[in-house]
Copies of this chain bind each other. A is one copy, B any other.
Amino acid sequence: MKFLEELQSLKEQIKRRVQFDVPEGTKNIVIGGMGGSGIVGKIFQEMYTKMPVYTSDSYDIPDFVGDGTLFIAISYSGNTEETISSLSYAKKKGAKTIGISSGGIIEKEADVFVNVPGGLQPRSAIGYMLMPLLLSFNVVSEKDVDYAYSLLKRIDENNIKDEDIAKKIWETRRIPVIYGIPGYRSVAYRWKTQFNENAKVIAYSNFFPELNHNDTMALRDTYRKNEFFFISISGGKDSRSEKRIDITKEITKTEMEEVVAEGSSQFEKMIGLVHRGDYVTYHLAKLRGVDPTDISSIEELKRRLSKE
């Protein structure tokens, strides 16, 4: 599938209604996942806080994992080394386990398996992997999904604003830094990773209000500041965060490209912002003349690690 078609499939992905039963007695949730699959757990963690949700992006699991734990292993291929390792530890410690993948070892090892369609880049399958979590924990309504579908469709049809952002980055050859606000810090991190994987450019993310306790001091200085292209992403209508962004820009004399979410529900805003990041990074890849689907370094590294 062409990369653009992958991007455009997001709106259909969120309409897929697959869910699982949350085991009775679940006291805490640990989600294992890396990179393009791991972002799903990080987004869920921000959207669902009725129970402690811990995201594990390594081989290990926290000591508290036990019979009150629901361990959810997310790996698009089903074969991510780190995630398989943490799933196996979780099982040994008596956790209930759910696997979300398009097959692989996760399908065989998890107590309950949620199958997602294969054939995409892992990071392009974010909708398929995220929806079972949001549906099973009642975080989204059908109305939220319908509105989000329309928003994603509009972005697919017209993403000139995102192309413009890509152009500004390319013309100035700057390094993207994405600032999120609470509720959207995982989305800021998603943008960072999409800049890395799609456009092959170094990028970093941080978030308000925490960054006002550290980045702010560096932004006021001039040391290498003009190397960076700052983007703030926010949910809109949150006057406290908007005010922070404004004051930060003013005090530090820093230009910031402001990307404000459309929509009303948190789901709609979140998924719309994710999609805009997809397009900004896709357009930047085109401008740079790099292949957005090429992730050969990551593959090579995985091969080398499993061999040695």
A251 to B301, CA, bound (A): 7
Does A58 touch B at the CB level, under 8 Å? yes
* Copies of this chain, count: 2
Q: Which residues of B contact A308 (CB under 8 A)?
A: 243, 247
Interface size on A, residues (CB 8 A): 71
A305 to B212, CA, bound (A): 11
Which of A12-20, A44-52, A104-112, A268-276 makes up part of the contact surface?
Answer: A44-52
Once A51-B64, A62-B49, A209-B82 are accepted as A-B contacts, the answer to whether A298 and B202 lie under 8 Å apart by CB is: no
The residue from B59, B214, B225 contacting A196, defined by CB atoms under 8 A apart: B214
**Smallest Cβ distance from A306 to chain B, in angstroms?**
11
Once A49-B64, A52-B54, A308-B243 are accepted as A-B contacts, the answer to whether A297 and B217 lie under 8 Å apart by CB is: yes
The residue from B62, B64, B197, B288 contacting A214, defined by CB atoms under 8 A apart: B197
Whether the Cβ atoms of A219 and B244 lie closer than 8 Å is: no
Whether the Cβ atoms of B57 and A28 lie closer than 8 Å is: no
The residue from B51, B243, B290, B298 contacting A221, defined by CB atoms under 8 A apart: B290
Which of A33-41, A127-135, A147-155 makes up part of the contact surface?
Answer: A33-41
Whether the Cβ atoms of A200 and B182 lie closer than 8 Å is: no
Q: 1/0 per residue A239-268: CB within 8 Å of B?
A: 010011001100110000000000000000
Does A168 touch B at the CB level, under 8 Å? no
Q: 1/0 per residue A202-219: CB within 8 Å of B?
A: 111010011011111111
Taking each of A203, A216, A227, A308, which has the highest tally of chain B beta carbons within 10 Å of its own beta carbon? Answer: A216
Q: Which residues of B contact A34 (CB under 8 A)?
A: 209-210, 213
Whether the Cβ atoms of A223 and B288 lie closer than 8 Å is: yes
Whether the Cβ atoms of B305 and A247 lie closer than 8 Å is: yes
Whether the Cβ atoms of B49 and A52 lie closer than 8 Å is: no
Apart from the given pairs A38-B210, A58-B182, 5 other A-B contacts in the complex at a CB distance below 8 Å:
A59-B240, A192-B214, A212-B301, A213-B298, A227-B227
Counting from the closest, the 10 A-B pairs by CB-CB distance are A35-B213, A49-B62, A52-B52, A204-B204, A200-B221, A193-B214, A196-B214, A202-B218, A220-B297, A57-B210
| 23 A-B residue pairs with CB within 8 Å | A35-B214, A36-B213, A38-B210, A52-B52, A52-B62, A52-B64, A57-B210, A59-B182, A173-B223, A177-B204, A192-B214, A193-B213, A201-B218, A201-B223, A202-B224, A202-B225, A202-B228, A204-B206, A212-B301, A217-B294, A223-B288, A247-B301, A251-B297
